[in-house]
Amino acid sequence: MGKLALFGGTPVRREPLPYGRQAISDEDIALVVETLRSDWLTGGPRVDGFERAFAEFVGAEHAVAVSSGTAALHAAVFAAGIGPGDEALSTPLTFSATTNVLLHVGATPVFSDVEGERLGLDPSLLEARINERTKALMPVDYAGHPADLEALGALAQAHGLVVIEDASHSLGARVGGRQVGSIADLTTFSFHPVKHLACGEGGMITTADPELAERMRRFRNHGLSSAARTRAGWSYDLVELGLNYRLTDIAAALGTSQIARLEANVARRREIAAAYDDAFAAQPELVRLVEHPDRPSSWHLYPLRLQLPGGQDEWIAALRTEGIGANVHYRAVNELTLYRQRGYDPAETPVAQAASHQLVSLPMFHAMTDQDVADSVAAVRKLVEHYLG
């Protein structure tokens, strides 16, 4: 197979393959251009239309569009009434935005460890961390594999907690036949270009609760009362402290147009994951995520835990030199400087801590060709051959 390019061999490919990227069609572009020529660049009908189409796709009562996945998490935490003195349980294996929003509202993130198969919150460890200050469970559907929402929902019900599901990875995934976005009290999505649906920047929260939806609509618009806004042309009132987290009609048009291809894009991602699974199944040093039979993943990421010599820095450098845009998702949040400074210790979540230093995400996006997948597999094989001979 040849020497690793990192050590002077010939790379698998010249054109670098990113780990994720958007796919924009002519129809997407046409709808954006049409919106640019319309009367509304923000606060207009494209935003309402995007919310309706998204709610319909996931089977939710209400969908509230915001300017990013982070804004979606912030709005959800705000709407749930989480504030100073409150705690919420979450996973360290996530992008830091999930728990940063708790810090923003003055609440305390409490990290609980993940299970070994899909690296989602381990429900059996949560109860011991629940106390009278606990207000919410914040699972993350890691890599696109839905969290164990049934177990988490039962726990939440028993302790009077709200479930805020960070579904930034799992648009199009299902739990027992139900779409993610129709299950938890609040579900948040991100429309960053590497996610299943790309707005440039954008986010959405879905809920069945009309009051939570109304609170999030106020929060994204400074906290202005919408009742006052609609009564008379000029009159308005500020009833709580919000932000400008509005999505533009331009971004909403881009998102709306892509909903039509979402199902096909998720199917393509599942095909790519199956090809990777086949290629790596016989190699025990490449530990794959195991899909739950009742919770099919929408595969935002394809992470492997490598049990090889060398170490994460060298694996990533070696794959990138082969032209394969490998990445790490994630360094455990409780290992990051800001969190360490606040007293967190990654040793409290040993499964996440160990995984964090073994994880390597391979390229995974719906526009990947079969040749891209084969290149990515070839680069991993070179890595295995280098270390195991």
Ligand X SMILES: *Cc1c(COP(=O)(O)O)cnc(C)c1O
**Residue 90 is a binding residue for ligand X (CB under 6 A):** no
Neighbours of 318 (CB within 10 A): 24
Output the six-digit token pair for 323: 């032209």
Region binding ligand X by CB under 6 A among candidate stretches 14-22, 89-97, 251-259, 317-325: 89-97
In this complex, which beta carbon is closest to ligand X, that of residue 134 or of residue 168? 168
Q: Which stretch binds ligand X (CB under 6 A): 54-62, 94-102, 148-156, 362-370?
A: 94-102
d(CA 132, CA 71) in angstroms, rounded, equals 27
CA–CA distance, 263 with 55 (Å, rounded to integer): 15
Restricted to residues 137-156, the positions that interact with ligand X (CB under 6 A) are 140
Report the C-alpha gap between 71 and 2 in whole angstroms: 47
Nearer to ligand X, 100 or 226 (CB): 100
Residue 356 binds ligand X, judged by CB under 6 A: no
Is 3 one of the catalytic residues? Answer: no
* The binder of ligand X chosen from 35, 70, 99, 361 (CB under 6 A): 70
Strand partners, 164: 186
Kindly state whether residue 68 participates in binding ligand X, applying the rule CB under 6 A.
Answer: yes
Tallying the residues shown for the chain, one arrives at 389
Token representation of residue 135: 């207000």
Shortest Cβ 136–ligand X spacing (Å): 15
Piece of 5-13, 65-73, 174-182, 350-358 that binds ligand X (CB under 6 A): 65-73
| DSSP secondary structure string for all residues of 260-303 | HHHHHHHHHHHHHHHHHHHHHTT-TTEEEP--BTTB----S-EE
User: What is the closest distance, in whole angstroms, from the C-beta atom of residue 312 to ligand X in the complex?
Assistant: 19
Residue with tokens 């096909």: 264
- Rounded Cα distance between 62 and 329, Å, is 30
Please tell me whether residue 386 adopts helix, strand or coil conformation: helix
Q: Which is nearer to ligand X, 321 or 349 (CB)?
A: 349
Output 63 or 140, the one with its CB closest to ligand X: 140
Which residue from 190, 248, 256, 298 is in contact with ligand X, where contact means CB under 6 A?
190
Least distance in angstroms from the C-beta of 66 to ligand X: 9
Closest chain position to ligand X (CB): 69
Burial group, residue 107, by CB count within 10 angstroms (0-12, 13-18, 19+): buried
Q: Using the rule CB under 6 A, is 69 a contact of ligand X?
A: yes
Select from 90-98, 144-152, 270-278, 285-293 the region that touches ligand X (CB under 6 A): 90-98
Instruction: From 4-12, 50-58, 67-75, 110-118, give the range in contact with ligand X by CB under 6 A.
Output: 67-75
d(CA 318, CA 164): 38
Q: Which is nearer to ligand X, 161 or 301 (CB)?
A: 301
Q: Considering the complex, what minimum distance in angstroms separates the CB of residue 101 from ligand X? A: 9
Cβ 251 to ligand X, closest distance in Å? 11
Question: Which letter does DSSP use for residue 205 in this model?
Answer: E
Q: Based on CB atoms, which residue is closest to ligand X, 168 or 257?
A: 168
Residue 95 in the binding site for ligand X (CB under 6 A): yes
Instruction: Provide CB contacts within 8 A for 67, sequence distance 6+.
Output: 201, 202, 203, 220, 244, 245, 246, 247, 248
Strand segments, DSSP code E, in the chain are 62-66, 87-90, 108-111, 134-138, 162-166, 174-175, 178-179, 186-190, 203-207, 286-288, 302-306, 359-362
Residue 166 in the binding site for ligand X (CB under 6 A) = yes
Q: How many residues sit in the footprint of ligand X (CB under 6 A)?
A: 14
Residue 238 CB, nearest approach to ligand X (Å): 25
Q: How far is the CB of 7 from ligand X (least distance, A)?
A: 33
Between 67 and 179, whose beta carbon lies closer to ligand X? 67
Minimum CB separation of residue 329 from ligand X in Å reads 8
DSSP-derived secondary structure for 36-93:
HTSS-SBSSHHHHHHHHHHHHHHT-SEEEEESSHHHHHHHHHHHTT--TT-EEEE-SS
CA distances to 162, 294, 299 from 290, rounded to whole Å, are: 27, 12, 12
Set 3, 135, 195, 382: catalytic member: 195
Q: Which of 22, 90, 168, 321 binds ligand X (CB under 6 A)?
A: 168
Q: Which residues bind ligand X (CB under 6 A)?
A: 68-70, 94-95, 97-98, 140, 166, 168-169, 190, 192, 203
Residues designated catalytic: 195
